[in-house]
Each structure stands twice: as C-alpha cells, then as structure tokens.
Amino acid sequence: MAGMIQMESRPGILDLSWGHPRPGLLPVGEWGKASAAAAREFGWRQLTYGQATGPTPLLDWLTAHLCDTEGGGTAPEQLFVTGGASHGLALVASLLAGPGDVILVDSPSYHLAFRILADTGATVVRAPADADGVDPAALAEQLAALRAGGRRVPLLYLVPTFANPTGRSLPAERRRDLVALARRTGLTLLEDDTYRELCYEGVAPPSLWRLSGGDRVVRLGTFAKTVAPGLRLGWINADPALITRLATLGYVHSGGGVNHSVATTMYCFAASGAYRRHVAAVRAEYRAQRDALVSAVRAYLPVEAPAGGWFLWVALPPGVGATGLLARAERNGTSFVPGPRFYVDGAGGDDRIRLSFSHLAPADLAGAAARLGSALTGLG
Ligand SMILES: Cc1ncc(COP(=O)(O)O)c(C=O)c1O
C-alpha cells in the first residue's frame, strides 16, 4: 500500500532508530468501536466545527485523568486540545517567541523539536546541562548573560520525564530549582511530557506543571505514544490567559477546535474503559521490549535500563564514533540514531547512540542488538 505512511521499513533492516509504536500494538479494533460509539452518542455534532478549546466531554475526562495521575493540578480552563505534541510546541513557540529571540533547549534533547522551535525565527541555543539534565545554576548565568546582551529569552524547552533520547528524568531538586528560577526570571518552561504514562517502575516524578501550580510552565501532552500517532491528538496545559490566546487565534476562529471528530472519538475510547486497558497493556509490552533490548545489548556493552519512555542512550566503547558506526551497522542490517543529532549545535554526543525499543517485538530487538554487536566487534 504505497503512499500511505510517513516511513516504511527498509528491507533487511531491523531498525532501532524509530520512536514509533509497534504496529501490532495500535488499537485498530477498539478505535473502530469508539468511532461507532461517538457517531451514536454525538450524531452530527461529531462532524461539525468543534468548540475552540476542544469538546467538553474530552476536556472533562482529560482533567480528571491528569488529576488522577498527579493528585490534582489541572482544571478544564487550563486545557487546549491540539493535533499532538509537535503541534502544541509549534503553537506555544509561535505565540511566545519570534525573530531575534533566543529559545533555550536541553542538551541532548528531542531533535525534531529543534526545527519546530527554529520555525519561529528565534535562534535555538543549547542550555547548560550535565548527565542529570539542565543545570539550573548554570542556566541562571546563561540567561543573565544573554539578557545583559540585549536578547529576549522567553522559553526553555525540555523533556524532564523519561526523556528522548536519554530515558532519564530530571532529579527532584533540579525540578524545584528550575520552577523557582522560572518564577524569578520570567522564563517560561516548555515541558514536553510525552512519555509520562509509559512508566515501567514505580510512579513517574511530578511534572514541572504540577510543581509550579501552572505558574511559568506550559506542558505538552499527546496521545501519540499511548494510543496512536496517526490520531494527531494531544493537549496543552497552560494558564487560562494563554489558553484564551490559543482559543482566539484566527485559524481556530475560522476552523473551530482542532481535530474535533477524533477528539470526540477519544472521549468515547476513554469513557468505555478502552484507554485504561490499552495503556496498561502497552505499558507491559514496552516494559518487556525494554528488557529484551537491555539484556541483548548488555551482552557486549553496559547500558542503563530507563524507568520509562522508549529509548536506550548507549555509551560507545572508547574510540568508537557514533557516526562511523552507523554505516557499518546498516551494512550489518540494523540502524540507530547517532548522538550528535540530539545536540542543537551538533557538537557532542558522538560517543553515544539512541536505540529505540518501541517499534520491534522482543525477538527482533534481540536480533537487531546482535547485528549491532557484530558491527561493533568488527570495528575492533
Ligand atoms: C519528546 C517528544 N515530543 C514530541 C514527540 C512527537 O509527538 P506528536 O506525535 O504528538 O507530535 C515525540 C515523538 O517522538 C517525542 O519523542
């Protein structure tokens, strides 16, 4: 079926580069039932222009769900339904930043966010970070220096929980320090919370959104990883003033709430209990996939097992560069994303590779890891 999807598998490659769900885990049957339920429950209202911030049934369910996961912290007037986290990122960045501004980004961080942020015309600059993530004290100095030089610095983008690419979460003290710094300096923390629900050990750390009480933090959520990326459905958590700005944008005025029909179907999917069952099931599958890849890679390299998310951030043996290894791995029938892609200035990370365990079943993950191992061994 040509011409249908963004990326097709390459013949002969067991690919560890894709941060995509395993196709067999997409809820095709349950989504079909939810679509039929939405047609029955909402009739023509599902197929006309939707309320600006999203349909009330979904906003109410999402409010209760987010409050459940974090013990409170969200009200319906703090939500705006989007076409996924990327869309939320583009909307917030374009409202809060523009040409001449500086947008700071964690480092390493989600590489595909860099272009979305650069689309605003702002300059995207690496924030100081170490193995634990953004360093608040060094960030305060960087911010002061940039502002003293006359630059406007409205935003810091980060993925503090089960990060892409590292799988790590920002320590509690740094979360508190960042929230305090944001309050003190007027910097907005743009928290990408895409992986919160894909937690495999204990509970996820509290979000910056929750810790800040919504002050100076905007949070992005998505159903892309928990349910399906093709839905193009997510949300923004922000203070009501920013939500009003989003809801009164010209394109919302003209076209109504974003992705209204899918949003109403998502409500039915959630209200029937399918969402809860599905997330529990995929969490167990991704945990098993994580374990399969971790144990296969540990046969030849030490690697940390992340507590959540989709990625292993693997340190290469001394003297092996990620970029050089990629060509050799591909000749050997596997692939990954080299570390430098996750640095906005491309400087750094050649001693690391990102392996995704989301897209392949355990046996294929083990096969891919074996091919990577022999590409490494061949390097001597
Ligand atoms: C950190 C992060 N944010 C956002 C996205 C994209 O989310 P969406 O499909 O909802 O636009 C991804 C997907 O890989 C991601 O890893």
Q: Does residue 9 lie within any of the structural domains?
A: no
pLDDT band at 379 (very low <50, low <70, confident <90, very high): low
Q: Does residue 366 lie within any of the structural domains?
A: yes
Residue 51 sits at φ, ψ, to 5 deg, of -55, 145
Sign of the four-CA dihedral 225, 228, 229, 232:
negative
Q: Say if residue 167 is in the same domain as residue 280.
A: no
- The whole-number pLDDT of residue 50 equals 98
Q: Is the pLDDT of residue 34 over 50?
A: yes
Share of the chain above pLDDT 90, in %: 95
Distance 240 CA to ligand 1 centre (A): 24
Alpha helices by DSSP H, listed for 172-259, are 172-185, 208-212, 240-247, 250-255
Q: Which of 19, 375, 65 is nearest to 164 (CA)?
A: 19
Find the domain containing 190 and state its range.
Answer: 28-272
Distance 194 CA to ligand 1 centre (A): 6
Residue whose Cα lies nearest atom 7 of ligand 1: it is 85
Q: What is the mean pLDDT of residues 30-57?
A: 98
Reduced to 3 states (helix: H, G, I; strand: E, B; else coil), residue 279 is helix
Q: Does residue 172 lie within any of the structural domains?
A: yes
Q: Say if residue 263 is in the same domain as residue 279.
A: no
Is the C-beta atom of 222 inside 6 A of ligand 1?
yes
The CATH number that applies at residue 134 is: 3.40.640.10
Token output for 364: 């294929």
- For the chain, how many residues are written? 380
Q: Say if residue 263 is in the same domain as residue 288.
A: no
Q: Does residue 7 lie within any of the structural domains?
A: no
Is the C-beta atom of 19 inside 6 A of ligand 1?
yes
Number of domains in the chain: 2
- The whole-number pLDDT of residue 380 equals 40
The CATH number that applies at residue 307 is: 3.90.1150.10
Q: Does residue 6 lie within any of the structural domains?
A: no
Q: Is 165:172 a contact under the CB 8 Å cutoff? A: no
Q: Say if residue 251 is in the same domain as residue 281.
A: no
Final residue before a domain boundary, out of 272, 303, 338:
272
Q: Say if residue 195 is in the same domain as residue 291.
A: no
Q: Say if residue 143 is in the same domain as residue 282.
A: no
Q: Say if residue 210 is in the same domain as residue 293.
A: no
Q: Is the pLDDT of residue 65 over 90?
A: yes
Single-letter residue type at 284: A
Distance 37 CA to ligand 1 centre (A): 28
Q: Is the pLDDT of residue 175 over 50?
A: yes
Q: Say if residue 253 is in the same domain as residue 353.
A: no
Q: Which residues is 80 bridged to in the sheet?
A: 236
Q: Say if residue 166 is in the same domain as residue 135.
A: yes
Token output for 88: 């939320």
Is the C-beta atom of 110 inside 6 A of ligand 1?
yes
Q: Say if residue 335 is in the same domain as residue 246.
A: no
Q: What is the mean pLDDT of residues 8-34?
A: 95
Q: How far is CA 360 from CA 136, 289, 327, 368, in A?
A: 37, 8, 21, 9
Q: Does residue 56 lie within any of the structural domains?
A: yes
Distance 223 CA to ligand 1 centre (A): 10
Residue whose Cα lies nearest atom 14 of ligand 1: it is 19
Q: Does residue 232 lie within any of the structural domains?
A: yes
- What are 230-277's pLDDT values in tens digits? 999 999 999 999 999 999 999 999 999 999 999 999 999 999 999 999
Final residue before a domain boundary, out of 272, 297, 317:
272
- The whole-number pLDDT of residue 107 equals 92
Opening angle at CA 236, ends 234 and 239, nearest 5? 160
Nearest atom within ligand 1 for CA of residue 110: 1
Q: Is 268:110 a contact under the CB 8 Å cutoff? A: no
- What are 97-134's pLDDT values in tens digits? 999 999 999 999 999 999 999 999 999 999 999 999 99
The distance of Cα 258 from the centroid of its chain, to the nearest Å, equals 19
Tokens 């919504």: give the residue: 214
- What are 309-361's pLDDT values in tens digits? 999 999 999 999 999 999 999 999 999 999 999 999 988 999 999 999 999 99
Final residue before a domain boundary, out of 219, 252, 272:
272
Distance 6 CA to ligand 1 centre (A): 14
Is the C-beta atom of 308 inside 6 A of ligand 1?
no
| Whole-structure pTM value | 0.97
Name 241's Cβ contacts closer than 8 Å, sequence gap at least 6. Answer: none
pLDDT band at 9 (very low <50, low <70, confident <90, very high): confident
Q: Say if residue 194 is in the same domain as residue 326.
A: no
Q: Does residue 316 lie within any of the structural domains?
A: yes
Is the C-beta atom of 86 inside 6 A of ligand 1?
yes
Test site for ligand 1: of 110, 117, 310, most ligand atoms within 8 A of the Cβ: 110
Q: Say if residue 346 is in the same domain as residue 223.
A: no
**Percent of residues in the chain assigned helix, strand, coil, to nearest 5:** 45, 15, 40
